[in-house]
Structure 1
Amino acid sequence: MDFEKQRFLHRQLLASSLLQFTTKMFAYTARREYVVGEHHKIICDALMDVIKGRTNKLIINISPRYGKTLLCSQMFIAYGLALNPASKFLHISYSGSLVQENSMAVKDTITSTYFQTLFPEVQIRKNDNTRAKWSTTAGGGEYATSTLGQITGFGAGQAEMTEEELKNIDDFTAQFNPDHFAGAIVIDDPLRPDDALSDNVRESINRRFETTIRNRVNSRKTPIIIIMQRLHEHDLCGYLQEIEPNEWTVVSLPVIKRDEDGTEHALWPFKHTLEELYKIKHASEFVFETQYMQNPTPMEGLMYHVFRTYDALPERRKARMLGNYTDSADTGFDFLCSICFDAHDDGYYVTDVLYTKRPMEFTEPAQANMLKRNKTDICFVESNNGGRSFARNVERLTKEYGNRKTRFVTFTQSKNKQIRIFTRSSEVNNRLVFPSNWEQLWPEFAHDLKAYRKEGYNAHDDAPDAATGIIEKCEEWLNNISDEQIMRDFL
């Protein structure tokens, strides 16, 4: 195959997708293979939707050191210029030196022999070429500045093309850039992690976006892309999703993902295994939830603090009760929450949890099996909203499964849920004891319990409601009824 034919095919390949461009260009410039993770493909697909005009406002949330800057702030800009040398990019980050390094990396890519062989029409203008600002001979380029730095005088993107200009586009542009992508505002980590808890700094960046950054576009079609690790519930991403909930496409990539059956997987095992991720979590849960899981939970206002844990369960024969508390789902949006526990003098040791939104065809046999597996003495079931019917069905199944030990007690919960949770929160925190790996065993339950707030919106209260119920029922049965009476009831 002659050189021109090979060049043509290679040019077509790199222009076909950002992922192809990145893997080939990285291999040439870095002299090593680009290790592609599933998250890289997801990010590239989202950025290709921007190129194709399908997405105008994009948020990508991913943890640090997962390749977001190379992909979004370097290769994406170089790729956009390969498709259209007149593309204009405004690149912003909390650090002026960081964006300038990214700007230089884009220039290094463009001026490389490999890039120039394939896309020779992209030339950097010699008399307009600094670390922070440079232009192409076609009128494109990049301006790199800090979030609070000077921005006036530069606009991202290009004005919409006239009908005459549309008629004159070449075959390459027509095939690979039919929607006439012409640049974007690319914001990479607008907020420094150390400043995330500062209301003044955080809100000044949000105001800066509104007063200056948002308007630095040359066309209403010019896209805005924000790539960052979540740092606070009211960081720039949180703020924008609050005021414009339906306008932003959000790609959130937590480092631990779960299958439908609850099995956990590391997002990018090449970077972190599950074991390594849990070590990071144990070092600082707040940092892990916000920056790694993209789930910013406020440190202030949480109902519960660190729970007690155990590695070895105390002798079960010494337990005062092998119990279960079940709160059946009130609506289709609620979780069924069923908790098995061993009641000892020093606390209630949780042994099993069923926490699911699945239908009764699953939950009833699953509950019956859990009660048999844990040798439960007594099962308390809230009878509100179908709870009594649920209890009858589970009781029938327990007998079918050969469990004639468990006694069912149904009751109507008439007290206000929020007040109950609030007033018994310290006892829940101090009396409930979980297995040391409970967050891995029951991740959704653990999240909803630990993230519950004293005030404000809580998506789900089923976990703290059932945890509170354990305290209430154990107090009622173990403190007000003698051991002899309880034993007579069970015999």
Structure 2
Amino acid sequence: MTSSEPRATPDELRQAVIKAECELDHLFFTRYFFKQRQGIKFRLNWHHFLIADAIQRVIDGQCENLVINVAPGSSKTENAVISFIARGLSLNPNARFLHITSGDDLALLNSQTARDIVQSDEYQALWPLKVADDAKAKKRWNVLVDGKKAGGVYAVSLGGQITGFRAGHMAPGFQGAIILDDIIKADDAYSPAAIKAANRKLLSTVKSRKANPATPVVLIMQRVGENDPTGFIKGGNLPGKWEFLIIPAVIDDAYVATLPERLRSLVISDERDDKGRFSYWPYKEPLGDLLALEAGNGTDPDGKRVSRHVFSS
């Protein structure tokens, strides 16, 4: 006796597998849509798995609030901001994200990139979410559910005005997040006034821009000083339970021993300094370059200013 139901085509089966992998594995989603967008493979390092695992714990409700300290040029924004937003909407089209950075240009670029992913043919083939027609601005956009505005993104600089928007919903399960990415510039590391202003704004934003007290906050940043936003949170100045994921630019065997066992074999430690330390990502950040930066503030290969604090976060 044969079934009257038509069999899935190989392409349909492939799409079903990709969709399942994207919904289960944050790093798979990041890699898949990076390649679709850029036309090249996402270059993997052990720290990408660590960051993706932490983001997944936030989505699963296992981590209430998260701080990720990692150096510039680590693909942190791709993994923990852009993919977090785009994948979060695939998991819950009602999810609302508030994204804040140190400047408008970066906030809008990240928002635009996440929207481009959602509107891409590859994403639409898996999750046919239409972006509202009036969402012309990069600053704020929504997807539609049953023809009505649902989840979406509000992107703004830390000093910008946030009106009529709160992250998350008064509902159970993952409903969105406040995502802060490098909210203070490395150039402000020696400006106590700038750091104090950033911490004050961080406090007021986190308190007033959650639709639900359980809405998670994710802060991704390079360390710029002892009293920077990470230090501010560690000092107990922000409510809620916080977890800290620390990825120094220069690491050693003792640090590697703290990693999940499955990741330790991925760490490359061939080139070491006289203290036995090595680069967290030799392919991208040669040890000699990092040691030169550690000796005094400078800029990384992408031209972004690097604080010495990133080496001992």
TM-score scaled to structure 1, two decimals? 0.54
SS at match of 1:135: strand
Is residue 63–residue 228 contact of structure 1 (8 Å, CA) maintained in 2? yes
Q: Which residue of 2 aligns with 1:289?
A: 308
Count of residues in Structure 1 that have an aligned counterpart in Structure 2: 275
Q: Which residue of 2 aligns with 1:241?
A: 234
* TM superposition shift of 1:209: 1.7
* TM superposition shift of 1:215: 2.1
Is residue 252–residue 294 contact of structure 1 (8 Å, CA) maintained in 2? no
5+ long unaligned stretches in structure 2 = 1-8, 258-274, 299-304
Q: For residues 87 and 196 of structure 1, what CA distance do their matches in structure 2 show?
A: 34
Select which of 118, 130, 154 maps to 1:123: 130
Q: Which residue of 1 aligns with 2:152?
A: 141
Q: Which residue of 2 aligns with 1:28?
A: 36
Q: Which has the larger radius of gyration?
A: 1
- Greater alpha carbon shift after TM alignment, 1-10 vs 81-90: 1-10
Runs of 4+ with deviation above 4 angstroms = 285-288
Q: Which residue of 2 aligns with 1:219?
A: 212
Is residue 23–residue 34 contact of structure 1 (8 Å, CA) maintained in 2? yes
Q: Deviations over 1:181-229 (max 9, x none)?
A: 1110000011122222222221112111222333211112210000000
* TM superposition shift of 1:284: 3.6
Q: For residues 39 and 13 of structure 1, what CA distance do their matches in structure 2 show?
A: 20
Counterpart residue type for residue 190 of structure 2: L
Q: For residues 211 and 220 of structure 2, what CA distance do their matches in structure 1 show?
A: 21
Q: Which residue of 2 aligns with 1:479?
A: none
Q: Which residue of 1 aligns with 2:198?
A: 205
2:87 corresponds to 1:93: no
Select which of 264, 273, 284 maps to 2:277: 264
- Greater alpha carbon shift after TM alignment, 276-285 vs 29-38: 276-285
RMSD value, Cα:
2.0
SS at match of 2:199: helix
Select which of 176, 198, 221 maps to 1:228: 221
Is residue 61–residue 294 contact of structure 1 (8 Å, CA) maintained in 2? no
* TM superposition shift of 1:294: 4.2
Select which of 221, 243, 254 maps to 2:248: 254
Q: For residues 137 and 80 of structure 1, what CA distance do their matches in structure 2 show?
A: 14
Q: For residues 287 and 185 of structure 1, what CA distance do their matches in structure 2 show?
A: 25
Counterpart residue type for residue 101 of structure 1: L
2:288 corresponds to 1:279: no
Bigger relative contact order, structure 1 or 2 (CA pairs below 8 A, ≥6 apart): 2
Q: For residues 278 and 225 of structure 2, what CA distance do their matches in structure 1 show?
A: 25
Q: Percent identity?
A: 31
Is residue 125–residue 135 contact of structure 1 (8 Å, CA) maintained in 2? yes
Q: For residues 200 and 116 of structure 1, what CA distance do their matches in structure 2 show?
A: 46
Q: Which residue of 1 aligns with 2:18?
A: 10
Q: Deviations over 1:241-288 (max 9, x none)?
A: 102598210001001111149732210111112222212223449955
SS at match of 1:128: coil
TM-score scaled to structure 2, two decimals? 0.83
Instruction: Judging by fraction of residues, say which structure has more helix.
Output: 1
Q: For residues 57 and 215 of structure 1, what CA distance do their matches in structure 2 show?
A: 16
SS at match of 1:212: helix
SS at match of 1:59: strand
5+ long unaligned stretches in structure 1 = 162-179, 296-491
